[in-house]
Amino acid sequence: MSSSVPVDVDLALVGGGGAASLVLAALDRHGVRGLRVAVVDPVHRRGQDRTWAFWGHPGSDLDPLLSASWRQVEVVTPAARRVLELAPLRYAMLRSGPVYDQAAEAEKRLDVARVLAAVDAVHDDGDRVLIRTAGGPGVRAGWVLDSRPRPPARPGRTNWLQHFRGWWLAADTAVFDPDRAVLMDFRTPQPARGVSFGYLLPVSDRYALVEYTEFSPALLTGAGYDAALAGYRDRLGLDPARLAVREVENGVIPMTDGPFVARPSPRVVRLGTAGGATRPSTGFTFSAMYRQADQVARALAAGRPPVPAPAYPSRHRWMDAVALRALDRGSVGGPEFFDRLFDRNPPERVLRFLDGTTTPAEEFAVMSSTRLLPMVAATAGDAAHRLRDRLRPRRPVPPVPAAVRDGLPPAAQDVEP
Ligand SMILES: Cc1cc2nc3c(=O)[nH]c(=O)nc-3n(C[C@H](O)[C@H](O)[C@H](O)COP(=O)(O)OP(=O)(O)OC[C@H]3O[C@@H](n4cnc5c(N)ncnc54)[C@H](O)[C@@H]3O)c2cc1C
């Protein structure tokens, strides 16, 4: 084939990270065959570059890939330690390596074309989509699933980041309880604006991921993450002399009520964080990506267009905007907010709420468990802000911050603990 002729396929995955890997696995699982598929990404993702934690029912095709799962998790505040029984759900840990491997296997079976190039532009004429790549002939596709990181279509009313660093710790004695994970531990020093917490995900009695996370407007320096993480390790009563840091994990995830457009043109669908799969109030993304990958594959298997349902119902995006606003304006304290949610609701309801799969009646119960006055004030503030936005000319969209694009706090890249 001449190098000036675009590769011609039925479906192109632009971006081959988490969302695309789950789509490839789902196409394979649903027996989609005979579809010409291409993945276009300058990087072929392999190995452990992130750890996904999520909850769900046991028994999915992910079970054999999990590093660990827990029926019990703890939520800790300075005032209380709550042990949550999650049944029928469970909290699970999935490292990226097995997900990328599963996608690579699916790629082979589906005979997928790999184009190792950055996509410059996507042009949809309503009939076919032309994907222009840097220095190559590009790809022409019937449908495009685009998961390249991008900012929201316009800045949100609240623009926070979830940013974190984790250490994989190996201990020389049994110091972790492998039957129980720590979901959120708010005994970390709280930032002036934002929320911080630590968490602990044990895979055995001697090996665990310990993370320090902030929901706030700005990143820390590398030394700042290390200091916060060392402080949390000490808070857990772990002796650094008996531990070795085996791996370091960094990440930045957008937490904003700015809109992520899921269907920018007739034959282009955005998936993953770029398509709005990141829950603004928590940064959790994995379950929505998995759900949408399954919907895409089912649709294609049935000969329908690969268009999933929105990642979250619009009422959830509105509730998230209100919660983010209340947290950002300081009218609700983060530890108090999450503590009340878990104190006044069955854990399963809260977790399904955070995944966007509750009914309106359950959502009313969840929202009623938060402190009412600040939430009413935040709701009114959000409505006023929306109105002002509608009346005002559009602000320009900022470029995607390098940190979010790469999933790494830039200040943290050069620092090893
Ligand atoms: C370290 C880390 C840990 C996380 N942990 C959790 C968790 O525990 N639970 C949870 O729910 N969520 C978590 N997330 C959030 C979310 O699940 C992940 O970010 C997930 O990988 C998002 O998938 P994605 O496909 O949207 O983006 P990515 O996986 O980042 O994939 C985007 C792809 O686009 C490619 N790309 C970029 N530019 C171009 C271009 N111009 N042309 C073509 N391709 C391009 C990139 O190379 C990349 O492969 C985490 C995120 C990070 C960074």
CA distance 10 to 389: 39
384 pLDDT more than 90? no
Distance 361 CA to ligand 1 centre (A): 33
Distance 6 CA to ligand 1 centre (A): 26
Query: How many A from CA of 417 to the centre of ligand 1?
Result: 24
User: How far apart are alpha carbons 192 and 201 in whole angstroms?
Assistant: 27
Rounded CA separation 232/210 (Å): 8
**Cβ atoms within 10 A of the Cβ of 44, count?**
12
Q: Is the pLDDT of residue 90 over 80?
A: yes
Query: From CA 363, how far away is CA 352, in angstroms rounded?
Result: 10
What mean pLDDT comes out for the span 27-34? 96
Give the bridge partners for 112, in sequence order. Answer: none
pLDDT the model gives residue 372:
57
Does a structural domain hold residue 375? yes
Q: Quote the number of domains for the chain.
A: 1
Instruction: Please count the other Cβ atoms lying within 10 Å of the Cβ belonging to residue 239.
Output: 12
370 inside domain: yes
pTM over 0.85: yes
Using one digit for the tens of pLDDT, what is the confidence trace for 317-343? 888 888 888 888 887 777 888 888 888
Ligand 1 binding pocket mutation candidate from 99, 148, 291 (most atoms within 8 A of CB) = 148
284 and 355 in contact (C-beta within 8 Å)? yes
Out of 223-232, 326-335, 344-353, 364-373, least confident range: 364-373
Report if residue 174 sits inside a domain: no
Q: Cβ < 6 Å from ligand 1: which residues?
A: 14-20, 40-43, 45, 50, 52-54, 118-119, 147-149, 249, 251, 253, 272-274, 284-286, 407
- Ligand 1, closest atom to CA 288? 11
Write the residue with the smallest CA distance to atom 43 of ligand 1. Answer: 41
Residue 364 lies in a domain: yes
Read off the pLDDT band of 395 (50, 70, 90): low
**What pLDDT is recorded for position 392?**
67
Cα of 287 from ligand 1 centre, angstroms: 13
Domain, as residue range, for 380:
314-391
**pLDDT at residue number 344:** 87
Does 275 reside within a domain? no
Let me know if residue 381 belongs to a domain. yes
Indicate whether 45 belongs to any domain.
Answer: no
382 in a structural domain: yes
Instruction: Determine the Cα–Cα distance for residues 40 and 109; give it in Å rounded to an integer.
Output: 18
